[in-house]
Amino acid sequence: MPDLYGMINVPTVVWIDEEGRIARPNDASFASNRFKLLTGLDSRRHLKRLRAWVRGAAPALTPAEVRAHQDLPTAADQEARAEFTLAWWLSRKGHADDAERHYERAAELAPHDITIRRGSMRTRGLNPMGLAFLKIAVKSALTRTPLYRPLKDSP
């Protein structure tokens, strides 16, 4: 699903209308404010918008607005996913050492893709809740590259 939808972290939320059309593209929003202190994301505005859309009280985004918000995958993003697929396969076949350089290459190609970087940690013997993730979070803060990317009309 991250490949099909160009998702680079979780949570990622997409609104899809009755005709199967994307009514609001990839947005970072939690279901509650449990992680607000860590992520800076306030779920209340998104939930308020969502409820209004579901009840028919407010429209979703227009097609032009959806396209303007979309961050479409690049060639490097797709090469990173191919490297990740290869590394994952090698890991599952018991070749963890050989998988490592493919995981590293995937991270080089798409450093912003947390589904690859954090998603591969358990397979690599790293703790996705520990120091390995903390390093990514600190570098993200220092380089002003957001880990979570809410739509610009979000709070």
Partner 1 sequence: MHTTLTLLHDGRADQIEVADLARPAISAEALKETLGWELKPEGLCRDFMCISVDQDELVGEDGLDLRVLADALQRPLVSDGKHAVASLGASHHDRGEALASLDAPDFTLPDLDGNLHSLSDHRGKKVLLVAYASW
Per the CB < 8 A criterion, the answer to whether 41 and 148 are in contact is: yes
Shortest distance (Å) from residue 100 CB to partner 1: 11
With binding defined as CB under 8 A, does residue 10 bind partner 1?
yes
Interaction mask 82-121, partner 1, x per CB under 8 A: xx-xx--xx--x-x--x---x--x---------x--xx-x
- Cα separations in angstroms, 89 against 5, 96, 106, 108, 113: 22, 9, 14, 19, 19
DSSP 93: T
Integer Cα distance of 131 and 72 in angstroms: 30
Selected binder of partner 1 within 43, 81, 112, 113 (CB under 8 A): 81
R_g of the chain computed on alpha carbons? 17
Per the CB < 8 A criterion, the answer to whether 80 and 106 are in contact is: yes
Q: Residue 40 belongs to what H/E stretch?
A: none
Shortest distance (Å) from residue 78 CB to partner 1: 4
DSSP 29: -
Selected binder of partner 1 within 39, 77, 116, 136 (CB under 8 A): 77
Q: Report the site for partner 1 in 20-49 (rule: CB under 8 A).
A: 20-23, 25, 31
Using CB under 8 A as the criterion, which residues of the chain lie in contact with partner 1 when the complex forms? Answer: 1-7, 10-23, 25, 31, 50, 53-54, 63, 66-67, 70, 72-75, 77-79, 81-83, 85-86, 89-90, 93, 95, 98, 102, 105, 115, 118-119, 121-122, 128-129
